[in-house]
Amino acid sequence: MWSPRLSVGHNGAVAHATSEPLVLGIETSCDETGVGIVLGRTLLADAVASSVEEHARFGGVVPEVASRAHLEAMVPTIERACSTAGVALRDVDAISVTAGPGLAGALLVGVAAAKSLALALEKPLYGVNHLAAHVAVDQLEHGPLPEPCLALLVSGGHSSLLRVADVTSSVEPMGSTIDDAAGEAFDKVARLLGLGFPGGPHIDRAAASGSSVAIDFPRGLTSGRDVERHRFDFSFSGLKTAVARWVQAREASGEPVPVADVAASFQEAVCDVLTRKAIDAALTEGIEDILIGGGVAANSRLRVLAEERASARGIRVRVPRPGLCTDNGAMVAALGAEMVARGRVASALDLPADSSMPVTQVLV
């Protein structure tokens, strides 16, 4: 069990007394090497080394490339985080690391680094769930999470609706994607339109000058029997295919493709479904707070539409700033700090990296 301690600075002198845990978090689930340091719910450092440019020419993340990039970036990123926070590694109370889900090879790099630090520094180790960390990071900006709250997590690998009663121990899935995740659909449509990778920011920028009602793209799992069987689930594969066929038909007729209109109409279809189902889930559960996280949470239209629809139903919306929505070490440190503060039992040093770790397993 962690107990309040004196914070020690680089020169060995006591800096100040604190009742909050100082935690270093490591995130390597995909293509970002993230190292964050938090003191309780205060962010001290958020260092990120991205390998996205190395993947751009492939139009998607290449697991082996990501793993090698993590190996090269790990030590410099840890050093940068410590320098920014003004702490030495020996100062931290605990090490937190993403144990899953994610790319197996990428996860292994982070888990191995965290184990080494925990062993060498004789600090407790917390192997945490990537999705739960996306929820916990909001505490660094907006304070303690309402309990319960509904989390809408949307990224390149996940589209999930979660009922969060306790971010350290009770996260229950209400719905998820049955095919493409929202971020994956953004990437594929961006590539189809000749835009860059990752697709989310490029679609968002292109959509700003387009019409969201120019093209009536389908909304997956929102009508008929689909609603009965998949009320809170998502499907974006059909939408992606509809966009591809529309563009192909336009090109076959010799007409130019209105990229801005396609981007805006596609983006509207995605955000419509995401917000509609999130509001429905919150009302069904009697929950008054929705938290939106994951890389797609940085999308400007999603933020505006969620706020408009939630406000109309008396529901509050919390969204971290864009820099905390994408994968980062701060979110892992935030969840680790909450684990320490709530007295959760630390992970064993032989904890595995689990690429398919279920969201219900918040802590290994």
CATH (domain of 107): 3.30.420.40
Do the domain assignments include residue 350? no
* DSSP reduced 3-state for 181: coil
Tell me if 224 is assigned to some domain.
yes
Both tokens of 292, joined, read: 């939106």
20 part of a folded domain: yes
Task: Please compute Rg for the chain using Cα positions.
Answer: 21
Shared-domain flag, residues 181 and 306? yes
Considering the domain architecture, whether residues 126 and 182 belong to the same structural domain is answered as no
Model pLDDT, residue 47? 98
pLDDT band of residue 345 (cuts 50, 70, 90) is: very high
Query: Residue 68 has what pLDDT?
Result: 94
Residues 67 and 212 in one domain: no
Check the CA dihedral 185-191-194-200 and report its sign.
positive
Residues 349/115, Cβ–Cβ less than 8 Å:
yes
Task: Say how many domains are in the chain.
Answer: 2
Same domain, 169 and 233: yes
Written as one letter, the residue type at 335 is L
Q: Is residue 347 part of a domain?
A: no
The model carries a pTM of 0.92
Q: What is the mean pLDDT of residues 179-191?
A: 95
Residue 362 belongs to some domain of the structure = no
Asked whether residue 298 is domain-assigned, the answer is yes
Residue type, 107: L
For residue 96, what are the β-bridge partners? Answer: 25, 126
Q: Is 117 found in the same domain as 217? A: no
Please indicate, yes or no, whether residues 40 and 162 belong to a single structural domain of this protein: no
The CA-atom distances, in angstroms, between 227 and each of 151, 203, 272, 297 are 20, 28, 15, 24
Both 128 and 32 in one domain: the answer is: yes
- The answer for residues whose C-beta is within 8 angstroms of residue 213's C-beta and 6 or more apart is 265, 268
Percent of the chain past pLDDT 90, that is, above it, reads: 87
Q: Which domain holds residue 278?
A: 146-320
Q: Which residues contact 334 (CB under 8 A, 6 or more apart)?
A: 25, 36, 38, 41, 43, 133, 136, 137, 139, 140
**Are 90 and 189 part of one and the same domain?**
no
131, 184: one domain: no
| pLDDT (0 to 100) of residue 56 | 74
Average pLDDT taken over every residue of the chain: 93
**Residue 57 has what pLDDT?**
73
Residues 182 and 133 both lie in one domain: no
- Distance CA(297)–CA(321), nearest Å, equals 9
Q: How buried is 278 (Cβ within 10 angstroms: 0-12 exposed, 13-18 middle, 19+ buried)?
A: buried
Please state the length of the chain.
364
Residue 6 has pLDDT above 50, yes or no: no
- Are residues 197 and 241 both part of a single domain? yes
**Whether residues 107 and 204 fall in one domain:** no
What is the model's pLDDT at position 3?
58
DSSP 2-64: ---EEEE-TTSSEEEEESS-EEEEEE-SSSEEEEEEEETTEEEEEEEEE-HHHHHTTTS--HH
- Provide CB contacts within 8 A for 322, sequence distance 6+: 297, 298
Tell me if 361 is assigned to some domain. Answer: no
Q: For residues 364 and 100, what is the distance between their CA atoms, to the nearest angstrom?
A: 9
In a domain, 354, yes or no: no
What average pLDDT does range 278-291 have in this prediction? 98
